[in-house]
Amino acid sequence: MENSRKKIVIVGGGFGGIELAKKLKNTNVDVLILDKHNYHTFQPLLYQVATGGLEADSIAFPIRKIFKGQKNFKFRVTEVQKIDTEKNRLNTTIGNIDYDYLVIATGSTSNFFGQSEIEYNAMPMKSIPEALNLRSMILQNLEAALIAETPEQEAALLNFVVVGGGPTGVETAGAIAELKKHVLRNDYPELDLKKVNIYLVEGSPALLSAMSVQAQEKSRQFLEEMGVTVYTETRVQSYDGKTLVLGEGKQIHSSTVIWSAGVKGAIIEGLNPDAIVRGNRIKVDVTNKVEGYENIFAIGDVAAMITDQTPNGHPGVAPAAIQQGKQLAQNLLAILENKPTKAFEYFDKGSMATVGRNRAVVDIKKVRFQGVFAWFAWMFVHLMTLVGFRNKLVVFVNWVWSYFSYDRGTRLIIRPYKKKNLENTSNDI
């Protein structure tokens, strides 16, 4: 009896992996989640951690705690190095782990499109340690600006550039603008605020390209009202850590370049190269089964479900990952019972982005609105989808506090950021 139980190994404790494992509760399978962190990250609010608005701990949730009382669940902190698809085995940093069914839910990582100089010098923001590094760096650069020796140095330290005009880029640029407006004046009376500049650089013609034209235009207007200089149709040529060179000869001296210009799938070595498509995503069929395998699946950002309706796969957003996790749970159980599987259907809940206080944009199918009400809607949705009551409560308290005080309370340099060097990768964690 015990031996007939199948073991489902899920790599990644993000939105998709967590949902899948939850939906397998009280079923006749064993579930093992592997993740390099012991917590689930609520990625949509990373930019608030990076800009001193929220504690890191309130957007992270211990994975073990999510599954408290789920008897068929186990968890290990480890990094998967390779899949041995012949032996149905994973090589990991804590040894080999066998599976009957494997689900790759590893999400995505920053895409620097092969430009290693930019990768080396620009700041990504896809994980909590990265967001904390960025928080430290922004604050360190403000401190350094006070003692800059040349006007060039000072300018570079006070020019903040966000590359990438998707939701993360828009939200980050807006948050830095609010930091300037409400906090720097009080915290750095010695600084000439006119020298603090915030840029948002986007390669395509519009910000928030996945949203409606109204949302695109309004978000740009909001940013400009808040003092952000927006460059669209502008590509980054190079960044040496000091000077960001843009198309058409434009350049900005900046010590702080935040990279949110693209993501790629966080794939694991060992899959057939044919299964990997554009953007490092894993090609899956309508049941999220990886092309060429019978017992390997991929969900969420790392999966590319390419159909006639979705030639680029689904958007890399939490609802798509959650819905795929939910559907895959049903399909895995169906497979085990030799019942027919069901094709995944994406239900688009709409999208939203916040630019700043009282300024957000929301598209829900044909319903589009912007401004104060959109901002409250954005906060409500994010609060509700945060994992854990304590986190909801602490984030709510912080937001209410910030609303009335105009403050971003957690501007702390807990671990100073050190420039990467080849010997020491301790910042990369």
- Residue from 19, 171, 178, 202 carrying the catalytic annotation: 171
Q: At what angle do helices 318-336 and 15-23 cross, to 10 degrees?
A: 30
Question: 89-92 long-range CB contacts below 8 Å, 24 or more apart?
Answer: 90/9, 90/11, 90/34, 92/34
Is 19 marked active-site? no
Residue closer to a copy of itself (CB basis): 191 or 306: 191
Give least dist CB 410 to a copy of itself, A: 4
Residue closer to a copy of itself (CB basis): 277 or 413: 413
Residue closer to a copy of itself (CB basis): 146 or 213: 146
Q: Please give the residue ranges that form the binding site for a copy of itself (CB under 8 A).
A: 37-39, 55-58, 60, 62, 64-65, 68-69, 71, 74, 76-77, 94-95, 128-129, 132, 139-140, 143, 146-147, 186-190, 388-391, 393-394, 397-398, 401, 405, 407, 409-416, 418, 423-424, 426, 429
Give least dist CB 58 to a copy of itself, A: 7
Longest dimension (CA), the chain: 74
Give Cβ neighbours of residue 39 (< 8 Å, ≥ 6 apart): 13, 60, 61, 62, 63, 128
Looking only at the bridges linking them, the beta strands covering 236-239 and 243-246 are antiparallel
Give least dist CB 139 to a copy of itself, A: 6
Give least dist CB 388 to a copy of itself, A: 7
Coil, helix or strand at residue 402: helix
Question: 279-282 long-range CB contacts below 8 Å, 24 or more apart?
Answer: 279/111, 279/304, 280/111, 281/313, 282/104
Residue closer to a copy of itself (CB basis): 181 or 235: 181
Element (H, E) at 97: strand 95-98
Residue 340 one-letter amino acid: P
Residue closer to a copy of itself (CB basis): 118 or 139: 139
Give least dist CB 178 to a copy of itself, A: 16
Q: Please, what sign has the CA dihedral across residues 81, 84, 88, 89?
A: negative
Q: Please, what sign has the CA dihedral across residues 376, 381, 383, 384?
A: positive
Q: Which are the catalytic amino acids?
A: 171
